[in-house]
Amino acid sequence: MATIKSTTYTIHIGDKSFDALNTFLNKNNYSHYYILCDEHTFEFCLPTLLFHAPLLNEAEIIELESGEDKKTMETCLQVWGALTDTGADKKSLLINLGGGVISDLGGFVASTFKRGIDFINIPTTLLSMVDASVGGKTGVDFEGIKNHIGTTYEPKGIFVNPGFLETLSERQIKNGYAEIIKIALIADINFWKELKTLKTAKEFQTEKIITKAIALKNVIVKKDLHEKHIRKSLNFGHTIGHALESALLKQNKDILHGEAIAAGMIMEAEVAQLLKKITKKELKEITDYLASVYQKIKLTKNTKALLLQYIQHDKKNENSKLAFALPNTIGSYELSLQVTRAQVAKVIEAYEAL
């Protein structure tokens, strides 16, 4: 089992993470346990958790409906209500068993209930293992804006068991893999070289790959929890990718975050090349690998118009100038690079021509 020390807590990865969980539960004298899950993690993950952590058989189970559209204040009201009705107090522990929707919402509920109770994350999707559960960002969507209401509030521990991924679809594995590719491109050239050799979803989700990706993100968030400087590097691929995701969701198109980020990374790598931050050879390497894992996304006229509109409103923009975090040679990054609208239009065109 690998263990990674974060700011104030430890991330345990591997089969033995259940032992670490039992030690954690025995050491902390919580008054009540609450397990937050959705219908999928209730079915596929909860029985395994209860089998390996028998203390949790006395936990209250709060089951939510799955889906990003449930990551709302209305659902929080439901969870705060369930905690209140069952006598939760300051010494209660909330256990988030699920993907990023559960850990984002559960972390937010825990941070606000009685001005903050303890919570831990037991991530069950690749995306939540390598990204969402790590780094203390919690929150919900509001009035159609993603993660609009939230807090920075860290868990007391993260327990990652890659075995949970057995019931996850290949599409969801690739969804999480995009964030693994991202962290390699901005933080570790050797990791990138290793990733380039991987071809199948099975290879994308090994304990070794997961551990490396978590360790790299952890180094960054430990230095800059509140995203004042280097944490912005994690936005590579997300300025265009996030705008693309919003544009497609607005048209009710079926798109996962990682799929949009993969396209975003291709386009932003092209921006990095235009700004001479990476070579043409590096750009080709990045594009070829991403195109081998992810299908190209079709950009209709309507999608393109919305895409440009959303990029314009990105919250990272400074003084109405577009600001990007991009690789500066593969394996390192540069923040707050100013990019013109014409350059953005050019890279969208280049993506369409692929």
Q: Which residues are catalytic?
A: 115, 137, 179, 217, 227, 231, 235, 238, 242, 257
Say if residues 6 and 151 touch (Cβ distance below 8 Å): no
Least distance between ligand NAD and beta carbon 323 (Å): 20
Residue whose CB is less far from ligand NAD, 30 or 241:
241
Among 49, 75, 137, 290, binds ligand NAD (CB under 6 A): 137
Residue whose CB is less far from ligand NAD, 142 or 196:
142
Backbone angles phi, psi at 327, to 5 degrees: -65, 145
Among 35, 102, 198, 344, binds ligand NAD (CB under 6 A): 102
Say if residues 117 and 155 touch (Cβ distance below 8 Å): no
Least distance between ligand NAD and beta carbon 152 (Å): 10
- Within 215-244, which residues bind ligand NAD (CB under 6 A)? none
DSSP state, 198? -
Question: Is there binding between residue 66 and ligand NAD (CB under 6 A)?
Answer: yes
- Within 150-209, which residues bind ligand NAD (CB under 6 A)? 164, 167-168, 172, 175
| 3-state DSSP helix/strand/coil % of the chain, to nearest 5 | 55, 20, 25
Region of 63-71, 109-117, 260-268, 289-297 interacting with ligand NAD (CB under 6 A): 63-71
Residue whose CB is less far from ligand NAD, 145 or 305:
145
- Bridge-based pairing of strands 322-327 and 33-38 is unpaired
Rounded Cα distance, 175 and 293, in Å: 10
Question: Is there binding between residue 125 and ligand NAD (CB under 6 A)?
Answer: yes
Region of 101-109, 113-121, 196-204, 281-289 interacting with ligand NAD (CB under 6 A): 101-109
Question: Is there binding between residue 127 and ligand NAD (CB under 6 A)?
Answer: yes
CA dihedral for 315, 318, 321, 322, sign (positive or negative): negative
Burial class (CB in 10 A: 0-12, 13-18, 19+), 258: buried
Among 11, 18, 33, 104, binds ligand NAD (CB under 6 A): 104
Least distance between ligand NAD and beta carbon 39 (Å): 7
DSSP state, 120? E
- How many Cβ atoms are within 10 Å of 128's Cβ, its own excluded? 26
Least distance between ligand NAD and beta carbon 348 (Å): 24
**DSSP character string of 281-321:** HHHHHHHHHHHHHSPPPP--HHHHHHHHHHHHT-TT-BTTB
- Bridge-based pairing of strands 93-98 and 333-339 is unpaired
139 sits in which H/E element: strand 137-142
Residue whose CB is less far from ligand NAD, 93 or 127:
127
Say if residues 262 and 293 touch (Cβ distance below 8 Å): yes
With b for 16 or more beta-carbon neighbours within 10 A and e for fewer, the 261-297 pattern comes to bbbbbbbbbbbbbbbebbeeebbebbbebbeebbeeb
Among 128, 161, 211, 328, binds ligand NAD (CB under 6 A): 128
Q: Determine the residue with CB nearest ligand NAD.
A: 100
Residue whose CB is less far from ligand NAD, 102 or 216:
102
Question: Is there binding between residue 100 and ligand NAD (CB under 6 A)?
Answer: yes
Site residues for ligand NAD per CB under 6 A: 38, 40-41, 44-45, 66, 68, 71, 98-102, 104, 124-125, 127-128, 131-132, 135, 137, 146-147, 164, 167-168, 172, 175, 257
